[in-house]
C-alpha cells in the first residue's frame, strides 16, 4: 500500500512538472518578441545546409550515441528486459523534450532581441555558454569508461577496491585537466576541446564503423536473433534496413559534408587561433578517430595467415558467446541426429552400451 501511494505521488509530481514547463513556455511566448523567437525555430528560411548538419550531430549528443553511456547503463539490465520498447520510448521522449526546449530558448532569445533592438542572430554570439553539461551526465560518461575497462580487463579491475581506485584515478585526471581551463587563457583551450575533441564529426566517424560492424560484420540477422531471444519477438523489418543502409549512409554523408563545410575555429567570432592551435585541435580530434583503424591494423598483424584468412578469423563471432534459444535447439537437433545414426549403425547390447569397432575407437 505504501509503495502504491509513493508511486502515485511520483506520477502527480511528474504531471505537475510537465504542466509547469508548458505554462512557462506559454508565458515566454507572450513576452515582447517571444512569438518572433518561437517562429524562428520552425521558419524554413533558416533551414540552411549548416543547420541540418548541426542538427544531425546534435542528435548524437542529445541521445548520448557512440559515447558508451547507453551501452554501459544497458549492461546492468536483466537479460529479458524489453530494450526495443525502451529505445522507442527514449526517441519519442527525448525528441519531444528537445522540441519544447527549443521553443523555450528561442522565445527568450526573441525577447532579448526585442529589448536590445537587434536581430536574433546577433543576440547570442558563438561561445561556450551552451557547451556545459550537467553533473549527472558527466558521471554517466565516466561510468561508461569504467564499465568498458572493467569488462575488458576483469583480472585487473575485478578485485577488491580496484574498481573504486580506478574511478578515483579517472576523477583526479579529469580534475587536473579541468584546472588547465581555469587559467587566464583557459577558455581558449576549452574552446579547442569543445570544437575538435568533442565535436560531432568525431562521433559521426565512430558511428559509421559501429553500424558497419553490427549490420555487415556481426550480421543484422544474427543481431535480430539476439534481440528476439531477449524480448520474445522480432522488431519490425525497417530497423534492419536502417542498420544496413540508411544509418551508415546518413552518418557517412553527414561526416563528409562536415569536412567539406569545415571552418576554422574563432573564439567569439573574433580571435583567430595560431597555426599550432589548429594543429593541436586536429590532434585532439584524431586521437579518438584513429583509434578504430589503428586497432584494426594491430589486430590484423597479430593473426597469422593470408589477408583474407586474417579478416575471416577476426570477423567471426567468438565461440564463447551465449547461445540463443534457436541456436540451442539446432545444436540439440544435430546431437539427436548423430545419436540416431549411431544407434542405427550399432544397436545397443543387453548391458545398454553401444559397441564400437577398433577403427572408430581410434578416431
Report if residue 336 sits inside a domain: yes
Report if residue 38 sits inside a domain: no
Cell of 329: 535447439
Cβ–Cβ < 8 Å for 244, 216: yes
Q: Which of the pair, 130 or 161, is modelled with greater confidence?
A: 161
Report if residue 122 sits inside a domain: no
Q: Please state the rounded mean pLDDT for residues 218-224.
A: 87
- How far is it, in rounded angstroms, from Cα 204 to Cα 58? 11
Structural domain for 329, as ranges: 325-361
- How far is it, in rounded angstroms, from Cα 241 to Cα 253? 17
pLDDT computed for residue 10 by the predictor: 39
Report if residue 168 sits inside a domain: no
Residue 155 makes CB contacts below 8 A (sequence gap 6+) with none
pLDDT computed for residue 137 by the predictor: 63
> In the beta sheet, which residues pair with residue 40?
none
Report if residue 254 sits inside a domain: no
Place of cell 579529469: 174
Res. 159: pLDDT tops 80: yes
* Percent with pLDDT over 70 in the chain: 68
pLDDT computed for residue 50 by the predictor: 67
Res. 16: pLDDT tops 50: no
Res. 220: pLDDT tops 70: yes
Q: Where are the alpha helices (DSSP H) in the chain?
A: 2-30, 34-42, 49-63, 69-74, 83-116, 135-152, 154-157, 162-180, 186-192, 200-212, 220-231, 237-241, 247-260, 275-289, 291-301, 307-314, 325-345, 358-361
Under the banding of pLDDT at 50, 70 and 90, the label for residue 319 is confident
Q: Dump pLDDT digits (tens) for 29-63.
A: 444 444 544 455 555 555 556 667 777 777 777 78
Under the banding of pLDDT at 50, 70 and 90, the label for residue 123 is low
pLDDT computed for residue 194 by the predictor: 81
Under the banding of pLDDT at 50, 70 and 90, the label for residue 8 is very low
Q: Which of the pair, 126 or 255, is modelled with greater confidence?
A: 255
Per this entry, what is the length of the chain? 363
Report if residue 355 sits inside a domain: yes
Report if residue 37 sits inside a domain: no
Task: Write the DSSP assignment of 304-346 as a string of letters.
Answer: -S-HHHHHHHHTSPPTTSPPPHHHHHHHHHHHHHHHHHHHHHS
Report if residue 354 sits inside a domain: yes
Number of domains in the chain: 1
Chain centroid to CA 255: 16
Amino acid at each position: 500500500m505504501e509503495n502504491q501511494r509513493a508511486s502515485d505521488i511520483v506520477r502527480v509530481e511528474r504531471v505537475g512538472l510537465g504542466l509547469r514547463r508548458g505554462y512557462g513556455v506559454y508565458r515566454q511566448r507572450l513576452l515582447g518578441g517571444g512569438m518572433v523567437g518561437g517562429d524562428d525555430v520552425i521558419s524554413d528560411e533558416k533551414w540552411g545546409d549548416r543547420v541540418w548538419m548541426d542538427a544531425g550531430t546534435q542528435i548524437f549528443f542529445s541521445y548520448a550515441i557512440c559515447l558508451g553511456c547507453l551501452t554501459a547503463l544497458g549492461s546492468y539490465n536483466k537479460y529479458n528486459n524489453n530494450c526495443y520498447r525502451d529505445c522507442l520510448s527514449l526517441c519519442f521522449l527525448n525528441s519531444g523534450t528537445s522540441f519544447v526546449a527549443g521553443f523555450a530558448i528561442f522565445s527568450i532569445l526573441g525577447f532579448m532581441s526585442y529589448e536590445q533592438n537587434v536581430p536574433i542572430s546577433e543576440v547570442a554570439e558563438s561561445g561556450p555558454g551552451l557547451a556545459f553539461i550537467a553533473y549527472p551526465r558527466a558521471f554517466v560518461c565516466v561510468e561508461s569508461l569504467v564499465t568498458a575497462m572493467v569488462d575488458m580487463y576483469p583480472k585487473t579491475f575485478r578485485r577488491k577496491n580496484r574498481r573504486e581506485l580506478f574511478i578515483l584515478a579517472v576523477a583526479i585526471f579529469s580534475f587536473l585537466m579541468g584546472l588547465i581551463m581555469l587559467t587566464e587563457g583557459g577558455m581558449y583551450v576549452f574552446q579547442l576541446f569543445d570544437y575538435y575533441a568533442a565535436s560531432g564529426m568525431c562521433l559521426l566517424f565512430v558511428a559509421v564503423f559501429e553500424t558497419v560492424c553490427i549490420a555487415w560484420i556481426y550480421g543484422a540477422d544474427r543481431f535480430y536473433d539476439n534481440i528476439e531471444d531477449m524480448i520474445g519477438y522480432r522488431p519490425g523489418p525497417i530497423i534492419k534496413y536502417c542498420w544496413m543502409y540508411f544509418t551508415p549512409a546518413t552518418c557517412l554523408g553527414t561526416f563528409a559534408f562536415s569536412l567539406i563545410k569545415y571552418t576554422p575555429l574563432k573564439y567569439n567570432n573574433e580571435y583567430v587561433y595560431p597555426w599550432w592551435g589548429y594543429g593541436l585541435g586536429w590532434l585532439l580530434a584524431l586521437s579518438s578517430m584513429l583509434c578504430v583503424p589503428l586497432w584494426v591494423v594491430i589486430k590484423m598483424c597479430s593473426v597469422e595467415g593470408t589477408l583474407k584468412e586474417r579478416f575471416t578469423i577476426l570477423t567471426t563471432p567468438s565461440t564463447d558467446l551465449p547461445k540463443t534459444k534457436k541456436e540451442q535447439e539446432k545444436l540439440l537437433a544435430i546431437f539427436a541426429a548423430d545419436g540416431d545414426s549411431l544407434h542405427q549403425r550399432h544397436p545397443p547390447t543387453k548391458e545398454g552400451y553401444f559397441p564400437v569397432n577398433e577403427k572408430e575407437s581410434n578416431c
